[in-house]
Structure 1
Amino acid sequence: MSNKAIILIGGPSKGTRFRPLSLDIPKLLFPIAGKAMIYHHIEACSKIPNMSEILLLGFFQENQLSSFIESATKQFKIPIKYINEVKMLGTAGGLYHYRETILQNQPENIFVLHSDICCSFPLGDLLRFHLENQRICTIMGTQVSKEYANQYGCLVRDENTLELLHYAEKPETFVSNLINCGIYCFKSQFFDQIGKTMNDIKAQQQLQLQQQQQNLIEYPEIIRKGTATENLRLEQDIFVPLAGTDSISVYLYNGFWRQIKNAGSSVYCQDLYFKHYREHKPEILKSGENIIGDVIIDPTATIDPTAKIGPDVYIGPNVKVGKGVRIVHSIILDSSEIKDHACILYSIIGWSSSVGPWARIEGIPNYTPFLYKEDKRKGITIFGSGAQACGEVIVYNCIVMPHKQLDRNYTNEILL
C-alpha cells in the first residue's frame, strides 16, 4: 500500500494578510517555532509508512521554493516536488487538473493538507480511521466554541456511522461546533467524483451559455459573463453535494489547531508548537539560568548572559542580543540586533532589523483562539525586514514596513 501527500500552498496573491513578512519570504516558509510553516506538515507526512512522494501545489515562482525543497528532500529522504499551477484553479480544480501527476505510481491513499494551519498533524491516526471506515474521503474535524464555529466550514456527522451528513462553509447561522481542519485523506477514486462534479458544472454552464445567447438575440442590452469551468473549490463544490451520500467520513481530532491567517497569528501558533515540543521534543528547547519556559535559540545567535529570554521565544540565526534585554512571546528573525536593556513583548522583529538600547517594542496579546476577523485594538507588533527603532522609543501595537526608521514613540499605527 503506497501513500502520497499534497500540500496546498496557494500563492502570493493570497498572502496579503501576512504582510509585511510575506514581502521577503513566501508565507509557507516563514519560521514558526524555528521551522518553516510547512516543515511541520512535511515532517508529519514523512512519518507515514510507504509515503512515496510529497507534492506542493500552488502558484509561487519555483525559484522561491527550490532551496527549501532540496533541503527537506535530503533531510526526510522522500521525494518532494513542486507543481506550479499555470493559473488559479481552486482547491479541487488544481487537484483534478494535475491528477495524472498525483496518481502516478497508483497511490492508494492521498493526504491533502492546507498549508496555513498549525496542529500536531495526527496523520497516522487519520489514516487508520480512513481505512477502517472505507469511504472515499475522510475529513479531519475539531470542536470549537459555538460563538466561533460559523467562521469556518461546519460539519454535521452521524455519531454512529461517523458519516458526514451536512457541510456548510461559513454559515450565517449556527450549524455545528464541529469544524473542518483543512486536512483530508482520499482514496484515488475520489478524483472520479471531482471529475463527475466538474462535468455536471460544465453541463450547467453550457445550458446557461445557450440561454444567454438566446437572451442576447432577444435582449441585446444584456451583457454575457463568462465562467471558469476548471475553478472548483474542494469544500463548497465537492463536499457540500457529497454530504449525506455515504461518501465522506469525519475523523474527530482533539488536539491543538489554529489557522495562520495573518502575520501576528505566527506568535500564537508558535506558543502551541512549543507546548507540543515540551511533551514530544523537549531536547530542542533551550535551558539555562536566564531562560524562562519554552525557548528555541539558533546556535549561531549571540546572547548576553544577562539577557532574560522567554517564555515562548524563538531567536534566529546570527541574532545579537545585548545586556539586560528582556524578550517574551516573540520571534526574532535572522541577523537582527536587540541592543542593551531593550524590551520585546508579543512582537515579531524582522530580518536584519535593529532595536535600540532601552527601547520597548510591545504588542497586545489576543488569545481568542478562533478569531477570523482581526481585533484592531489588539495585535502583535511586527517589524518588516531592516526596520530600525532608535534608543528609548516605545512602539506599541504597530505594524512597521520594511526599512522604516522609528525615532519617536508610536501607538496603534501602520507605519509605511
Structure 2
Amino acid sequence: MSSKALILVGGGTRGTRFRPLSLDIPKVLFPVAGRPILSHALSALTTVPTIKEVLLVGFYDDAIFKDFLADAAKEFPQFTIKYLREYTALGTAGGLYHFRDVILKGNPDKFFVLHADVCCSFPLKEMLHMAEEKAAKAVILGIRVPTQVASNFGCIVADPATKKVVHYVEKPETHISNLINGGVYLFDKSIFTTIREARDARHEAAVASPIGEEGGEILRLEQDILTRLSQDDGFFVYETRDFWRQIKTAGSAVPANALYLQKLFQLDPDAPNLAKASATILPPVYIDPTAIVSPTAKLGPNVSIGPHAKIGAGARIKESIVLDDTEVRPGACVLYSILARGVKVGNWARVEGTPTPPADHLSTVVKNGARVHTVTILAQDVVVGDEVRCQNCVVLPHKEIKTDVENEVIM
C-alpha cells in the first residue's frame, strides 16, 4: 500500500494570533522543544514506512522554506519533501483540491492530512489500521477535552460501538460533544469528489466567492467538508488517549513545549541535548549545545534553551522557551514565558506569566476584571532592565522595559 502525507502550513496573512512571535518567524517554523513545530509532524510521519512523499501546502513565499527544506531533506531521507504554494488563500479544502493532480500522482491508496499547528503524539499507524479494518474512506483523529472548552473546536458525535462519525459541527453554539477534532486526517481519493460536490453546491446556492482562474472558491475542510462527510458512510474517528494541544496563540507554545519535552523524556531520557537531572536541573530541560549556561543557574521543568543563549549565575528559568542569542543575566527569574531572539533580561529582573495546566486549553486568564495572557511574551530584541518585574505582558519587538509592568500589551 502506497501513501502520501500533506501538511497544511497556512500563510503569511494567517497566524495573527501567534503575534508578536510570528513577526519574526513563521509559526510553523517556531522552535518548540528545540525543534521547529513542522519538524515534529515530519518525525511522526517517519513511523509510517509506506509514506514516500510529503507535501507542504500553503501560501508563504517559497523562500521562507528554502533553508528548512534543505535541512529536512538530510534529516528525513526516507521521503521527499516538497512545498506547494497556493497563488492565494484557498482554504484548507480548496488547497487540497487545487493540487489534486499532484496529490494523486503515483495513485496513492490513502493520504494523511495534518495541520502543522497541532501538538500531539500523532497516532498515524493506529489511524491507518482503523482505515484498513473498517474499509474507511476517511478517519479523523479525536480527543476528549473538558466540556467547558469543547465548543471552541470542531465537535464529533460518533457511534460508541463502531466509531462511525454520525455528526460533525465546527465550533457549535451549544454543547454537542466533548470529543473534538484533533486536526489529523486520513483520506482516500474519494475526498476530492466530496470537495467538488461542496464547491458545486456553493455555486448552486449563489453564495460562492470566486478566486483563481478555475473559478473555485475558498473551501474549508472543517466547516464545508467534514459536515458533509458525516452524512455518508465510511467516516470514522480514532480517539487518542495521549497528549494533544493546538498551537494557535503565541502563549500556547509554552504548554506544547512542555508536552513534547515530557514525551521525549519518557521515551528517551538520554536523548541528545536533554540535560541530565541534577541539583540545578529539573528535567525535562532541552539545552542547545551552543548555549552557555552557568552551573549555578537552576532550570526546569519544561524549559528549552536555544542556540547561543547565555544564562547567568543564579538565574532561575521554569516552564519557558528561550530562543537564540538571548541573555538572562545573573539572578534573573523567568517563569511561564517566551523570550524571543535577542532578548536581554537584566540582573535580578523577574519575567513571569501565570501557570495553567496544559489540559485547560486556555491562553488567557482574568485578573482584576481584565482578560490577560497567561504567558509573558518578549518579542525580538526586547530589553528588560535590572531589577524590573514584567508579569503577564506581551511586549512587541525592540522595546525597553525600565519600570515594573503588569497585565499590559506594550506596543
For the superposition of Structure 1 and Structure 2, which TM-score range results when normalised by the shorter chain? over 0.9
CA–CA distance in structure 2, aligned partners of residues 400 and 88 of structure 1: 29
Q: Which moved more, 1:143-152 or 1:309-318?
A: 143-152
- Could you tell me how far 1:278 is from its partner in structure 2? 1.8
Q: Which residue of the partner structure matches residue 37 of structure 1?
A: 37
1:361 matched to which residue of 2?
351
1:3 shift after superposition: 1.0
Tell me the CA shift for residue 377 of structure 1. Answer: 3.5
SS of 2:151's equivalent?
Answer: helix
8 Å Cα contact 1:156-1:167 kept in structure 2? yes
Query: Is 2:273 the partner of 1:278?
Result: no
Residue by residue over 1:351-380, the C-alpha shift from the partner in whole angstroms, topping out at 9 and shown as x without a partner, is 011111111111112336354673324511
The question of 1:415 aligning with 2:410 is answered yes
* AA matched with 2:335: L
Cα distance in 2, alignment partners of residues 377 and 64 from structure 1 = 32
Q: How many residues align?
A: 398
Which residue number corresponds to residue 212 of structure 1? none
Does structure 2 conserve the Cα–Cα contact (< 8 Å) formed by 1:258 and 1:370?
no
1-structure distance, mates of 2:197, 2:14: 28
**Paired-residue identity, %:** 43
Query: Paired residue for 2:189?
Result: 188
**1:302 lines up with 2:255 in the alignment:** no
Deviates more, 1:369-378 or 1:289-298: 369-378
Cα shift readout 1:176-215 (whole Å, capped 9, x = no counterpart): 111110100011222122223222322332xx7xxxxxxx
CA distance in 1 between counterparts of 2:358 and 2:260 reads: 17
Q: Deviations over 1:107-154 (max 9, x none)?
A: 111000111111011111111111111121111111111121111111
Deviation at 1:273, TM superposition (A): 1.1
SS at match of 2:193: helix
Tell which structure's C-alpha radius of gyration is larger. 1
Matches within 5 A, 1:7-406: 7-77=7-77, 78-205=79-206, 229-284=216-271, 285-287=274-276, 288-367=278-357, 369-371=359-361, 374-375=364-365, 376-406=371-401
> What is the alpha-carbon distance in structure 1 between the residues aligned to residue 409 and residue 139 of structure 2?
42
Task: Report the AA paired with residue 240 of structure 1.
Answer: T
| SS of residue paired to 1:283 | coil
CA RMSD, aligned part only? Answer: 1.5
Report the AA paired with residue 329 of structure 1.
E
**Mapped contact 1:60–1:84 kept (Cα < 8 A):** yes
For residues 361 and 194 of structure 2, the distance between their equivalents in structure 1, rounded to whole angstroms, comes to 33
TM-score (norm 2): 0.93
Shift of 1:328: 0.7
Amino acid at match of 2:253: S
Unaligned runs of 5+ residues in structure 2 are: 366-370
Cα deviations by residue, 1:248-306 (Å, 9 ceiling, x for unpaired) = 11111111111111111111111111221122132222114411121000011111111
Amino acid at match of 2:53: E
Query: Structure 2: how far apart are the matches of 1:184 and 1:242?
Result: 12
Equivalent-residue separation in structure 1 for 2:357 and 2:310 (angstroms):
29
Q: Is the 8 A contact 2:92 2:220 kept in 1?
A: yes
Contact 1:21–1:384 (CA under 8 A) maintained in structure 2:
yes
